[in-house]
Structures are given as C-alpha cells and as structure tokens.
C-alpha cells in the first residue's frame, strides 16, 4: 500500500451513492495547490477521495464545497484519461483512512464544532491537531511508537 497525506479544499459537496449490494460510498473532490516550475507557478492538483461505509458520516455532514480538509489514505495508481475537450488528464484517487478538518482552513463553521466531530479515524475520534502525543494516537496505525511531529507547521509548507 502507498499512503499519502493531503491538505486542501473541497471543490464540490460530498457525493453519496450506494453500490448494487447496498454498501455506502462517499466521494470527495479535493483540490490541493503546489508550487512548481522555475517561476514558482502555482498548480492545482485534484484528488478523488473515496470513503467506504459509514465511518466518517458524522463529519461528512459538516462538509460542503470550499471546506478545508486533511486526508490520509491509500493512494492508487494514477490513471490517464481524455477529457471532453480531448486533452489528456490524470485521475488521482485515495481511499480514506483518516479525515480531519484542516486547522489552516479559516474560521468557518466547519472548523468550530464539538471536539468529537473535529477529526475521525477509522478506529474512532481523534484528539485535536497536535494535542495528543504521537505514541498515544499515531496517524498511521502501522507506525505505533514511531515519533511524529507535534503539529508544528510553517507557512511555506502549507499547500494552499
């Protein structure tokens, strides 16, 4: 598995649908920004985030277009397709393992909720960003005991 952690904003409201067997599937379209090239040009990268089942339902109900989110999950092999205008495009897909409201998203309603609704992990609620030692609540359940950052972020590291 290849895990990735992205931070960005929703480009559309979450889309909920069901498989033929009745399993719930929620899709988020997340835009991230990256500085590339000689001139430091900003580039937007779109990600399709898939949430299987009802594990993040309490949180998803607060998400809407423009909400700032951070997603940790299994990244899939990029797929190249041709858009309606005949231009090649890349599809980047993630299956979510952990989702939280971004502390960098501004002071909207979505970032000011009850503590238990701020962040959810497949195993249940997680404490606010940077407030729990990594040994107690690691981001990746496979990396227990591995030291993690304390939530320190510098402006030039924020992708949006």
What is the residue-averaged pLDDT of the chain?
75
Q: Which of 49, 45, 14, 15 shows the shortest CA–CA distance to 31?
A: 45
Pairing of strands 24-36, 88-101: unpaired
**Which residues 6+ apart lie within 8 Å of 33 measured at CB?**
8, 42, 43, 44, 45, 159, 160
Q: In three state form, how does the secondary structure of 108-119 look?
A: CHHHCCCHHHHE
pLDDT at residue 103, rounded to an integer: 82
What residue spans define the domains of the chain? Answer: 3-157
Where does residue 3 fall: left (phi above 0), alpha (psi -120 to 50 degrees), or beta otherwise? beta
Check if the beta carbon of residue 27 is closer than 8 Å to that of residue 14.
yes
DSSP 58-127: HHHTT--TT-EEEEEEEEPPPEEEE-TTS-EEEEEEEEEEEEEE-TTS-S-GGGSS-HHHHEEETTEE-P
pLDDT at residue 154, rounded to an integer: 44
pLDDT at residue 105, rounded to an integer: 66
Give the homologous superfamily in CATH for domain 3-157. Answer: Nucleic acid-binding proteins (2.40.50.140)
The whole model's pTM is what?
0.63
Q: Tell me which of 112 and 151 has the higher pLDDT.
A: 151
CA torsion through residues 140, 144, 146, 152, sign: positive
Q: Tell me which of 104 and 125 has the higher pLDDT.
A: 104
Matching residue, tokens 């990600």? 47
């Amino acid at each position: 598995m290849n895990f990735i952690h992205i931070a960005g904003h929703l480009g559309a409201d979450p889309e909920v649908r069901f498989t033929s067997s009745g399993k719930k599937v929620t899709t988020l379209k997340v835009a991230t920004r990256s500085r590339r090239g000689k001139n430091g040009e900003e580039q937007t990268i779109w990600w399709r985030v898939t949430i299987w089942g009802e594990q993040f339902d309490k949180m998803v109900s607060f998400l809407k277009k423009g909400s700032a989110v951070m997603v940790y999950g299994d990244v899939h092999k990029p797929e190249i397709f041709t858009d309606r205008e005949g231009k090649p495009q890349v599809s980047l897909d993630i299956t979510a393992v952990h989702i939280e409201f971004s502390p960098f998203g501004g002071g909207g309603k979505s970032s000011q909720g009850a503590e238990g609704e701020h962040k959810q992990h497949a195993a249940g609620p997680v404490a606010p960003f940077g407030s729990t030692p990594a040994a107690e609540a690691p981001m990746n359940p496979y990396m227990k005991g591995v030291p993690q950052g304390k939530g320190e972020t510098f402006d030039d590291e924020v992708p949006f």
